[in-house]
Structure formats: C-alpha cells, structure tokens
C-alpha cells in the first residue's frame, strides 16, 4: 500500500484571513459569509482566529494576499470576489490577474490561498454560485483552506 497524505476536515489550528473584493458587493458578501460559515462549522473560533480584509475589487486581491501571506500570521487565506464578463471589457484582465496573482503568492510563500472567486458570464450565474442553487463558492473555499492547512501539517516532505 503506498503512503498516502491527505488533509482532514477538522480544525487544524492557526489563524485564517479572508480577502473580500467589494466590487459586486451584494454577491461577494454572500461568499464571505459562506467562508466564515465553513470555518465555524469546522470548529474554528471565528471571533478569535479569523480576520476579514476588504479591497476595492478583484484586481487588488493579490497585493493584499502578498502582505498577509508574508506576515507569517496566517495558516491560510481565502479570497472572495466576483468578476462578471457581461459587466466589463476588463473581464479577462481582472479575472486573469486575480487568478495568476494569488496563485503566485501562494506558491512563493507556501501559504495556501483558496480561490473563492467567481468568474461568470452573467450575474445570474454568479448568484447561483453564491448561496443559491449551485452552492456557495465561499463555503467551498473555506473547506479547502481547512483541508490544505491540515494537509501541509501532515506532509512529511
């Protein structure tokens, strides 16, 4: 049987940061609520161990992730933002930058960053993924943060 490493979905300890982008706030606030709910349901004392940082838009998420991740204060970061193709000609730039930027910060710092960013064609698709019929991407990202902190603590390499 090969040795197998896996994260558990139980509170791994440590502090968590959630970075929320205010653009499309009425959707993003649902994602942030979902992320907080995921952490709480997995046993994290969210009053004591979770910080929420708001930035203007998805474009600004990576630079704040960089500051938070390099501080050494957080076991994981959860990003929450919504980029809607129909509402901007900037879509590809903004969606590309938040994905590329947060991915780079995560690999450079070793701090897991869960990608709770919606990139959709329409506002309806975004609403569906923010706590209605297609679940809540922020909740999913909160679970991923828990699992990744647990996995990295167990990984013996």
86 touching ligand INI, by CB under 6 A? no
- Distance from C-alpha of 15 to C-alpha of 23, rounded to nearest angstrom: 25
- Distance from C-alpha of 50 to C-alpha of 155, rounded to nearest angstrom: 24
Q: How far is the CB of 141 from ligand INI (least distance, A)?
A: 15
- Distance from C-alpha of 68 to C-alpha of 53, rounded to nearest angstrom: 10
- Distance from C-alpha of 84 to C-alpha of 105, rounded to nearest angstrom: 23
Tokens of 108: 């450079």
Using only C-alpha atoms, what is the Rg of the chain?
15
Q: Which residues contact 53 (CB under 8 A, 6 or more apart)?
A: 17, 18, 19, 20, 64, 68
One of 39, 76, 78, 83 touching ligand INI (CB under 6 A): 83
One of 19, 35, 84, 114 touching ligand INI (CB under 6 A): 84
Q: How far is the CB of 47 from ligand INI (least distance, A)?
A: 27
Q: How far is the CB of 143 from ligand INI (least distance, A)?
A: 22
- Distance from C-alpha of 12 to C-alpha of 23, rounded to nearest angstrom: 31
140 touching ligand INI, by CB under 6 A? no
125 touching ligand INI, by CB under 6 A? no
- Distance from C-alpha of 55 to C-alpha of 41, rounded to nearest angstrom: 26
88 touching ligand INI, by CB under 6 A? yes
Pick out residues in 40-59 that bind ligand INI (CB under 6 A): 56-59
Of the two residues 82 and 136, which places its CB atom closer to ligand INI in the complex? 82
- Residue with the shortest CB distance to ligand INI: 57
Pick out residues in 16-35 that bind ligand INI (CB under 6 A): 21, 23-24
Can you give the binding site for ligand INI, defined by CB under 6 A? 21, 23-24, 56-60, 81-84, 87-88, 90, 94
């Amino acid at each position: 049987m090969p040795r197998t490493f896996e994260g558990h979905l139980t509170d791994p300890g440590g502090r968590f940061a959630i970075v929320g982008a205010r653009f499309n706030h009425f959707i993003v606030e649902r994602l942030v609520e979902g992320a907080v709910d995921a952490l709480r349901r997995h046993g994290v004392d969210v009053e004591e161990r979770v910080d929420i940082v708001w930035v203007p838009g998805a474009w600004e998420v990576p630079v704040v992730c960089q500051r938070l991740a390099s501080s050494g204060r957080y076991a994981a970061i959860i990003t929450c933002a919504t980029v809607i193709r129909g509402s901007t000609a900037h879509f590809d730039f903004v969606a590309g930058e938040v994905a590329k930027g947060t991915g780079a910060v995560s690999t450079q710092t070793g701090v897991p960053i869960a990608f709770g960013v919606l990139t959709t064609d329409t506002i309806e698709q975004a609403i569906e993924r923010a706590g209605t019929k297609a679940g809540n991407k922020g909740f999913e990202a909160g679970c991923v943060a828990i699992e990744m902190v647990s996995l990295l603590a167990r990984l013996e390499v």
